[in-house]
Amino acid sequence: MSREDRVAGDEPVTDGGTVADESTGTGSGGSALARLRDREDFVVIASAAALVVFPFLLIDVLGAIGDVIGTSIGGYAGLPSLVLIYGIIVIGFNLLLGYTGLLSFGHAAFFGSAAYSAALFSQVVPSPILMIVAGTVVATLLAWPIGFVSIRRSGVYFAVLTLTFGQALYFWALGPGSWLTNGDNGFSGIEAHGLFVGALPLDAQLIPVFDSYTVMYAFASIVMLIAIWVGNRIINSPYGLIFEALGENEERVEFVGLNVFRYKLMAFVISAVFAGVGGAMFTIHEQYIHPTTALYWIQSGDFVIMTVLGGTGSLVGPVFGALVFEYVANVVSGVSLPVIGSIGSLWRFVLGAVFVFIVWVFPRGIYGAFADLGARITGGGGDGEEPAAADGGEAE
């Protein structure tokens, strides 16, 4: 997509500051730290630094701690990439839920259609980048009509409409569409060649000692950085500000004279693009796709859980949600605790309980809770500095 050329063309250093300064919503505190946090190059560089140490922390450090305390709490080599893939999706999902205030229960449709498109495309050209392009294009084309219809209704009806379209696609993939999707058997053994026309296999190691730094991880990191950059650019632009305004009060936006429908549709399509990129990458990473993992509505629910766990209303908050979700699903599920014993299949229960707790006590999610805590410690009086769009909505 054109997004990648744009990154190659201009380094995000150029005009970051001016755009961010115009936004009044975030970080108007005026302190040097707040101003730094708003700078686009800072966001990207800080994210890049975090991405470099992330697998080391997740696998090697946690693994070493696990060795000491006797339970394995470190991740496996593929986990960091998986977290990033979901992270990319929920950055986009949060643009819809956290900023525009639209709760979609049908994003599995875009995730899944992109995953299947990438899988089918790999049989023609097994290039990972082209697979992502193909998947994203299909997801975007699908999001347009679904969004066009669903946006016309708000609230519950919007959630139900997106859900019905997603479920219709799921049952289509299982039944009548099985000539294309392979039905209940799914696709397995999907091979993507390495990057640079196969020169760099995706499972090759970048750094000899640390086996979590694979080419796949580097690839996912680059896409993640692009996603963060684009997300940051959107929410700090006047366009993104309208998304936020829509989340807070739709009527007011309409009275200003803006075309609410168009902005909501764009928010929907943009979030679907992110889901499409993530879906295609999921296929490349897992090399396996099935209607239940890709298209079933529980998958949409998982996006919702990740986003809310991490925290709506901030750019990278949901990524923490994706991390917690995948960590619980893949690592905690294998942990054996002293009293309770093996957690095993209880992981969804643990996650559900954590989720309810977060919704109840910290409506702004884990990230929001930490931000509040930080603000309290530094005495910045950060209360309501960054009102979450999700609960600023109805001030009745």
Partner 1 sequence: MLLLQSEIASILLNGLQQGAIYALLGIGLTIILGTMEFLNLAHGALYLVGAYTGLIVFQETTLSNGFLYSQGITTIGFGGGFIAALILVPLVGFVVGLLMERYVAEPFYDRPETDQLLVTFGLALIVQEIVRNVIGGNTFQSIAPSTMFGVNVSQPISLPLVGLFPSWRLFIIAIAFVVIGLTYLAIERTDFGLVVQAGTRDSEMVRLLGIKINRSYSLVFALGAALAAFAGLIGASIQTISPQIGTERALLPAFLTIVVGGAGSVRGAIAGGLVLGVIISAMTQTYSQWAQIVLYLFVALMLIVKPEGLFGSMEVGE
Binding stretches for partner 1 (CB under 8 A) = 97, 101, 103, 149, 152-157, 159-161, 163-165, 167-168, 171-172, 175-176, 297-298, 301, 304-305, 308, 345-346, 348-349, 351-353, 355-356, 359-360, 363, 390-391, 393-394
**Quick one: 200 or 335, whose CB is closer to partner 1?**
335
For 356-374, b/e burial (b = at least 16 CB within 10 A) is eebeeebbbbbbbbebbee
> SS3 of 271, please?
helix
CA distance 244 to 250: 10
Q: How far is CA 355 from CA 209, 350, 368, in A?
A: 36, 8, 14
Minimum separation from the CB atom of position 390 to partner 1 (A): 5
The HSE-up count of residue 60 (CA atoms within 13 Å, CB side) is: 11
**Quick one: 236 or 300, whose CB is closer to partner 1?**
300
**Quick one: 150 or 212, whose CB is closer to partner 1?**
150
> SS3 of 151, please?
coil
Minimum separation from the CB atom of position 394 to partner 1 (A): 5
Contacting residues for 171 by C-beta, under 8 A, at least 6 apart: none
Element (H, E) at 18: helix 16-22
CA distance 112 to 118: 10
Minimum separation from the CB atom of position 253 to partner 1 (A): 17
Minimum separation from the CB atom of position 100 to partner 1 (A): 12
Amino acid at 262: R
Minimum separation from the CB atom of position 249 to partner 1 (A): 12
**Quick one: 54 or 165, whose CB is closer to partner 1?**
165
**Quick one: 196 or 357, whose CB is closer to partner 1?**
357
Q: Determine contact, residues 295/170, Cβ cutoff 8 Å.
A: yes
**Quick one: 155 or 374, whose CB is closer to partner 1?**
155
Minimum separation from the CB atom of position 150 to partner 1 (A): 9
CA distance 177 to 180: 6
**Quick one: 150 or 283, whose CB is closer to partner 1?**
150
